[in-house]
């Protein structure tokens, strides 16, 4: 058995309606400096802030936006704070995958009734701009899903945050929305978390990749992709598989000290512009050797882009029954080899670039080798 595409698992009623990704919150060691990184490299705009200056004494949070992508970078001001403990244990990483829902109480209650572990009871936050209702449930590792209900809230982000900007000269790179967020879980846990998304959040199983699909000479992993009713939310879940050497998933789990978000795929309508600009801004990408481009057109057929441009920028391409996609992966964006980004442009394709897995994992192995963790 290799890849399986599941088509008959959709239920007609979406038992857990989600309108989209609301935000991703990272717990980091130095939010002030991380905010500058995302402005200078990815071209995010700083839009909101919460901290001592706004009456919040425990943590500082910077809100950054581009297209529909919204990141929150949070650091602790005291070593005893939970955010400081999280950073000490995991390094900089994703704590919150926030989902935009119609009813934060109902969604929370139905999830908990079906087995979700509560992280935050439903409550309302309000300020002069209105109210937002929020609740949260746990998912893999220490990651949580915040459920955010925004009825007529007119403020910049959430109650307690104030609008902010600066004169930093940003150049947006054309990021539109979060395409998918990938989680790495421990060996043997993938099916448990797939079942969690199916049973608790009413997601459907989209695709299964086994260790024959995702293996190089040395290392292997398995992956299943779950998606919500309207398809806006896609969560691939990876677990390591047995190989001759240490899988990249094991390396992640070692350094992150457990399960967590591995990569965030950000969508663009013009990947040539996006990657060219990111490279000019100093973003490091995984390197795939030139021979990848020798037979790529035989594999994927005719594409709109000039193959020389793809080669120059080291962008990968893959095709499925619905069209093709272009993608590239950054190196980890913090000191530990944990979280990284994918930039993706979909031209019809609904899949995840299976044809690139081998080239990609060999690229990661070369990085592991340099780190001494293969
Ligand atoms: Fe991906």
Contacts for 27-30: CB closer than 8 Å, 24+ residues apart: 27/74, 27/75, 27/83, 27/86, 27/87, 27/90, 27/92, 27/93, 27/95, 28/73, 28/74, 28/75, 28/87, 28/92, 28/334, 29/75, 29/87, 29/91, 29/92, 30/75
**Last residue of a domain, which of 137, 163, 189?**
163
Q: How far apart are CA 282 and CA 40, in angstroms?
A: 9
Give the pLDDT score at 2.
56
Q: How far apart are CA 159 and CA 328, in angstroms?
A: 36
Q: How far apart are CA 217 and CA 362, in angstroms?
A: 9
Higher-confidence position of 241 and 213: 241
- Residues linked to residue 179 through DSSP beta bridges, in sequence order: none
Question: What residues contact 207, with CB distance under 8 A and at least 6 apart?
Answer: 3, 4, 5, 6, 223, 224, 225, 351, 352
pLDDT single digits (tens) 285-315: 999 998 899 989 999 999 999 999 999 999 9
75 C-alpha to ligand 1 centroid (Å): 27
Task: Give the confidence band of 360 by pLDDT, cuts at 50, 70, 90.
Answer: confident
Residues 260 and 355 both lie in one domain: yes
Give the pLDDT score at 213.
77
Residues 155 and 215 both lie in one domain: no
127 C-alpha to ligand 1 centroid (Å): 37
208 C-alpha to ligand 1 centroid (Å): 14
Is the Cβ–Cβ distance between 133 and 158 less than 8 Å? no
Residues 344 and 203 both lie in one domain: yes
Residues 124 and 207 both lie in one domain: no
Give the pLDDT score at 7.
60
Residues 189 and 153 both lie in one domain: no
265 C-alpha to ligand 1 centroid (Å): 5
Residues 329 and 244 both lie in one domain: yes
> Is residue 102, in this structure, part of any structural domain at all?
yes
102 C-alpha to ligand 1 centroid (Å): 27
Residues 200 and 344 both lie in one domain: yes
- Pairing verdict, β 260-268 and 340-347: parallel
Give the pLDDT score at 3.
66
Give the pLDDT score at 67.
98
Boundaries of domain holding 89: 18-163
Instruction: Select from 134, 125, 136, 144 the least CA-distant residue to 50.
Output: 125
Characterize 43-59 residue by residue with b for buried, 16 or more Cβ atoms within 10 angstroms of its Cβ, and e for exposed.
bbebbbbbbeeeeeeeb
Average pLDDT, the chain: 93
**Last residue of a domain, which of 128, 163, 198?**
163
Task: Give the confidence band of 246 by pLDDT, cuts at 50, 70, 90.
Answer: confident
153 C-alpha to ligand 1 centroid (Å): 32
Give the pLDDT score at 1.
44
Angle, vertex CA 253, rays to CA 251 and CA 259, nearest 5: 155
> Is residue 4, in this structure, part of any structural domain at all?
no
| The model's pTM | 0.94
Distance of CA 101 to the CA centre of its chain: 19
pLDDT single digits (tens) 1-12: 456 777 644 444
Number of domains in the chain: 2
Measured over the CA atoms of residue 352, residue 355, residue 237 and residue 372, the dihedral's sign is negative
pLDDT single digits (tens) 9-67: 444 468 889 999 999 999 999 999 999 999 999 999 999 999 999 999 999 999 999 99
248 C-alpha to ligand 1 centroid (Å): 14
Q: How far apart are CA 214 and CA 18, in angstroms?
A: 30
Give the pLDDT score at 212.
78
Give the whole-number percent of the chain exceeding pLDDT 90: 79
**Last residue of a domain, which of 129, 163, 197?**
163
Task: Record the tokens describing residue 164, joined without a space.
Answer: 């902010």
342 C-alpha to ligand 1 centroid (Å): 6
> Mean pLDDT, to the nearest integer, of 85-96?
98
Give the pLDDT score at 185.
97
Domain holding 285: CATH number? 3.10.180.10
317 C-alpha to ligand 1 centroid (Å): 13
Instruction: Select from 155, 149, 148, 164 the least CA-distant residue to 129.
Output: 155
Give the pLDDT score at 87.
98
344 C-alpha to ligand 1 centroid (Å): 8
Give the whole-number percent of the chain exceeding pLDDT 70: 97
> Is residue 318, in this structure, part of any structural domain at all?
yes
Q: How far apart are CA 263 and CA 259, in angstroms?
A: 12
Residues 220 and 323 both lie in one domain: yes
Residues 134 and 183 both lie in one domain: no
296 C-alpha to ligand 1 centroid (Å): 19
122 C-alpha to ligand 1 centroid (Å): 32
- Residues linked to residue 209 through DSSP beta bridges, in sequence order: 223
Residues 108 and 207 both lie in one domain: no
């Amino acid at each position: 058995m290799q890849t399986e595409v599941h088509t008959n698992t959709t239920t007609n009623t979406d038992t857990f309606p989600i309108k989209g990704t609301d935000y991703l919150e990272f717990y980091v060691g130095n939010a002030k400096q991380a905010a500058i990184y995302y402005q200078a490299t990815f071209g995010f705009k700083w839009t909101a802030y919460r901290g001592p200056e706004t009456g919040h004494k425990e943590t500082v949070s910077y809100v950054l936006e581009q297209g529909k992508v919204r990141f929150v970078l949070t650091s602790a001001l005291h070593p005893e704070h939970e955010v400081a403990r999280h950073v000490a244990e995991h390094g900089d990483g994703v704590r919150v995958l926030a989902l935009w829902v119609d009813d934060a109480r109902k969604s929370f209650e139905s999830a908990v009734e079906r087995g979700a572990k509560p992280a935050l009871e439903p409550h309302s936050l309000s300020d002069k701009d209105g109210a937002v209702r929020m609740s949260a449930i746990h998912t893999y590792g220490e990651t949580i899903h915040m459920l955010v209900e925004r009825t007529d809230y007119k403020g910049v982000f959430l109650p307690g945050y104030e609008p902010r900007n600066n004169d930093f000269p940003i150049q947006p790179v054309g990021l539109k929305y979060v395409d998918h967020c990938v989680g790495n879980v421990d060996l043997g846990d993938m099916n448990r978390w797939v079942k969690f998304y199916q049973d608790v959040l009413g997601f459907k199983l989209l695709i299964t990749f086994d260790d024959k699909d995702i293996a190089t000479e040395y290392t292997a992993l398995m992956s299943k992709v779950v998606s919500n009713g309207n398809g806006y939310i896609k969560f691939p879940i990876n677990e390591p598989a047995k190989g001759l050497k240490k899988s990249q998933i094991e390396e992640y789990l070692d350094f992150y000290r457990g399960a967590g978000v591995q990569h965030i795929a950000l969508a663009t309508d013009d990947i040539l512009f996006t990657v060219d600009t990111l490279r000019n801004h100093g973003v490091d990408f995984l390197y795939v050797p030139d021979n990848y481009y020798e037979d790529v057109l035989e594999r994927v057929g005719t594409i709109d882009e000039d193959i020389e441009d793809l080669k120059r920028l080291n962008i990968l391409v893959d095709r499925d029954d619905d069209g093709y996609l272009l993608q590239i992966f950054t190196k980890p964006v913090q000191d530990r080899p944990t979280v990284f980004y994918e930039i993706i442009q979909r031209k019809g394709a609904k899949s995840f670039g299976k044809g690139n897995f081998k080239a990609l994992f060999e690229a990661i192995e070369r990085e592991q080798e340099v780190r001494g963790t293969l």
